Amino acid sequence: MSFNAIILEKEEATGVTCSLKNVNKQQLLAQQGDTLIQVAYSSINYKDALAITNKSPVVRKWPMVPGIDGVGCVVECASDRYQKGEQVILNGWGCGETHWGGLAQYAYLKSEWLIPLPNKFTAHQAMTIGTAGYTAALCIERIVDFGVKPHDGIVLVTGASGGVGSIAISLLAKLGYQVTASTSKIDEAYYLQKLGAVNVIDSQTLKETGKPLQKEQWSAVVDVVGSHTLANACAQTQYGGIVACCGLTQGMDLPATVAPFILRGVTLAGIDSVMASYDKRIAAWNLLAHHLDEEILSYVGRTITLNECVEVANKMIAGKIKGRFVVDVNK
């Protein structure tokens, strides 16, 4: 039996290539796993875009099927965690990096990596959320658990028009927080306001070198951008506030001083979705199931085919997309 998959290959003569191929199931089953999934949808996250365009060394085993996300039906499970026919979600765990991922009609995975698809969401909605939305939920859980309340002040979301940013704005607004969205796409202000942003600011104001301490503006921050943006976000966070840091679209560097941390007691909280525990995943997906406005998902998401992934990945790296891209792997 064979199935369609995006395959990343590395050869000395040709370098890294990305193509849609028909793959033999035996090759898939050579991966370490105990659960065969018939994938319905995957999605394109920033890390997938980096892998597909080979802009960063995301892939560490070749050939590789990219796709850090997937949702689908269990075909067979050698452990007692899942029964045939159950719908499950995959987010992370090195899939698309060291283990074949979700941009394929089948995936062979470890059952402990999977979580049940929450009743609230369809498979398509789960991938509109995807790792981006689940990471937004991890950031917001951290902020809420830290004790930041809606009346404490405004929450800043950077890289606002992207996947993490879009879901973060929507979830924060639904939880009653006032959100300022920082974006390079000022002409998309309406999109961000419809998600729930009260203010929209030009991201350029955060991208340049700034002073170590600036006017206190934010009770909390969800930052996907890193570099100077993260440094400025910390410098603008209120006394005792928290900055949830999860991304690096401007850069992996952090050209900051310790001033916000030692003079204002600001907390810089690192957020990782890839290796997060089962309990953290379930808590984040529960937060989404209970508080995310479902209607927003059809507004945020677009569906593409496996064939369109390379084009979308290139646009994503160029910062030219907004919202989320769900991949129908059977088209």
Ligand X SMILES: NC(=O)c1ccc[n+]([C@@H]2O[C@H](COP(=O)([O-])OP(=O)(O)OC[C@H]3O[C@@H](n4cnc5c(N)ncnc54)[C@H](OP(=O)(O)O)[C@@H]3O)[C@@H](O)[C@H]2O)c1
Residues that bind ligand X (CB under 6 A): 45-47, 131-132, 135, 159-165, 183-185, 203, 224-225, 246-250, 271-274, 316, 319
> How many angstroms separate the CA atoms of 245 and 248, rounded?
9
In the complex with ligand X, the residue whose CB is nearer, 33 or 163, is 163
Write down the least CB distance from residue 161 to ligand X, Å. 3
In the complex with ligand X, the residue whose CB is nearer, 123 or 197, is 197
Query: How many Å separate Cα 60 from the centre of its chain?
Result: 20
Write down the least CB distance from residue 250 to ligand X, Å. 4
Query: How many Å separate Cα 98 from the centre of its chain?
Result: 18
- Spell 104-135 as b/e; 16+ CB within 10 A means b: bbbbbbbbebbbebbeebebbbbbbbbbbbbb
In the complex with ligand X, the residue whose CB is nearer, 81 or 315, is 315
Write down the least CB distance from residue 300 to ligand X, Å. 10
Find, among 217, 229, 305, 213, the residue nearest to 263 by Cα. Answer: 213
In the complex with ligand X, the residue whose CB is nearer, 105 or 170, is 170
In the complex with ligand X, the residue whose CB is nearer, 50 or 77, is 50
- Angstrom CA distances, 291 to 128, 143, 176, 257, 285, stand at 15, 15, 10, 36, 10
Which strand (E) or helix (H) includes residue 207?
Answer: helix 204-207
Strands 87-91 and 154-157 come out as unpaired
Write down the least CB distance from residue 193 to ligand X, Å. 13
Query: How many Å separate Cα 104 from the centre of its chain?
Result: 19
Residue nearest ligand X, Cβ-based? 162
Write down the least CB distance from residue 320 to ligand X, Å. 8
Q: What sign has the CA pseudo-torsion 58, 284, 145, 157?
A: positive
In the complex with ligand X, the residue whose CB is nearer, 35 or 135, is 135
Write down the least CB distance from residue 78 to ligand X, Å. 28
